Amino acid sequence: MKYEAIALTPKEQTVILKEQNSWEEVLRIFEWFKSQKEYAPNVIHYNVVLRALGRAQKWDELRLCWIEMAKNGVLRTNNTYGMLVDVYGKAGLVKESLLWIKHMKLRGIFPDEVTMNTVVRVLKDAGEYNRADRFYKDWCNGRVELGDLDLDIIGDSKPISLKQFLFTELFRTGGRNNFSTSGASDVERSVKKP
């Protein structure tokens, strides 16, 4: 008797990925999905995998998945950045968490309400109540000002710059495909209303 593979919809694949209890299972199933010739890279699937890796604090695997996303031309969304801010913040990596917002801004993506709430929660959890308040008020006025978020005084670890973060967390093995420094200044000058 010959068996035929059942084709799963992207939504069904997402449900299967989300139901897994371990990051290893999430990765194994995701690799299997990607091995199927009909599979198309999907930002939602990558977000599920990145969340599982972040919760497990598997930063090297998370970085490789991030790079793979870029290589496959999968564009990051507010959900992607908000989830990264969340998992890094919950792991106690507050500076790195906030650097994802700087990276998001450089990409020209304005935080949605969920991402803004995540940033405010991370700042509050770090005891940075005034900064959380300023971030919220700036966001309400259509700005994402991170200059006053002196990342060097948050937490007890050594200072880390955005440039250092980008090189160590994002581009260790490549993946500069979508990064443009020329567009960064345009984004920094623009004001967007939420």
At residue 66's C-alpha, the angle toward residues 63 and 70, to 5°, is 140
pLDDT in tens, 46-93: 999 999 999 999 999 999 999 999 999 999 999 999 999 999 999 999
Which residues are within 8 A (CB) of 123 and not within 5 positions of it... i.e. 6 or more apart? 94, 98, 129, 131, 132, 135
Q: What is the pTM of this model?
A: 0.76
Looking at the structure, tell me whether residues 112 and 167 fall in a common domain: yes
Residue 60 vs residues 2, 24, 68, 73: alpha-carbon distances, Å: 41, 14, 12, 20
Residue 1 resides in a domain: no
Domain limits for position 110:
94-173
Looking at the structure, tell me whether residues 102 and 162 fall in a common domain: yes
The number of helices, as runs of H, and strands, as runs of E, in the chain is 10, 0
pLDDT at 107: 87
pLDDT in tens, 147-165: 655 554 444 445 555 555 5
pLDDT in tens, 110-159: 999 999 999 999 999 999 999 999 999 999 999 887 665 555 444 444 55
